[in-house]
Structure 1
Amino acid sequence: MSETGTNGGNIDDPETTTINIRVTERQLAEIDAVWKEEGYTSRSEFLRHAIRDATDHPGASREILASIATEEYAMRNGESEAVSREEVVDLIDDDA
């Protein structure tokens, strides 16, 4: 994971620091599938976004995220209908 940086992945950006992490082969395959599917330009961009979500929204528990993922899966399979942003915010606020 050598490509880092907040300014378009610029590794010379003085505001960034390179870190090394260990993940399983399965996790790496999942990361690679998701960042490409979601339109990120690199693994690093995807992981920076994930870290921002985790640090900016620490109240988003695994339970809430699992619930969101379950609903997304149901929607994609025609088993559920979309909910509004307000409904999602209410769900998060009620759980926090």
Structure 2
Amino acid sequence: MSNTDTANDEPEKTNINIRVTEAFLEDIDATWREEGYNSRSEFIRESLRDAVRHPDLSRESWKEIAAVEHARRTGESESFSRDEIVGTDE
């Protein structure tokens, strides 16, 4: 087995360095904790994946998605079943 093989066949990860202001880092840390991520790295990876997978979404679209997702996770929004949204013939 090579050094790049892992127990669950995940691709090898590479570290990157970015510079952000202390204030922005505080916002990032507050956000990942509030949103239930396990770590800052997990939150940043998912944010980057979303930006790469959906480059056509505007910054405003991302803000709206984030607000709705936050409301859903914190219980501040009303939940609906699929049948309530789509409707049923019953």
TM-score, normalising length from structure 2? 0.59
Could you tell me how far 1:23 is from its partner in structure 2? Answer: 0.4
Summarize the alignment of residues 48-59 of structure 1 with structure 2, pairs less than 5 Å apart: 48-59=45-56
User: Normalising by the residue count of structure 1, what TM-score does the alignment of the two structures yield?
Assistant: 0.55
The residue identity in structure 1 corresponding to 2:13 is T
Q: Does 1:41 align with 2:38?
A: yes
Deviant stretches of 4+, over 6 Å: 70-73
Shift of 1:81: 7.6
Could you tell me how far 1:64 is from its partner in structure 2? Answer: 1.8
**Structure with the greater alpha carbon radius of gyration:** 2
1:27-66 per-residue CA deviation (whole Å, 9 max, x = no partner) reads: 1000000111111111000000000000011111113224
Q: Which residue of 1 aligns with 2:20?
A: 23
SS in structure 1 opposite 2:13?
Answer: coil
Per-residue Cα deviation, 1:3-33 (whole angstroms, up to 9, x for no partner): xxxx9xxxxx762100010001111000000
Q: Unaligned regions of 5+ residues in structure 1, if any?
A: 1-6, 8-12, 83-96
Structure with the greater relative contact order (CA < 8 A, sep ≥ 6): 1 or 2?
1
CA change 1:71–1:36 in 2 (3 A) is closer
- Aligned-pair identity in percent equals 57
Identify unmatched segments of 5+ residues in structure 2.
1-5, 80-90
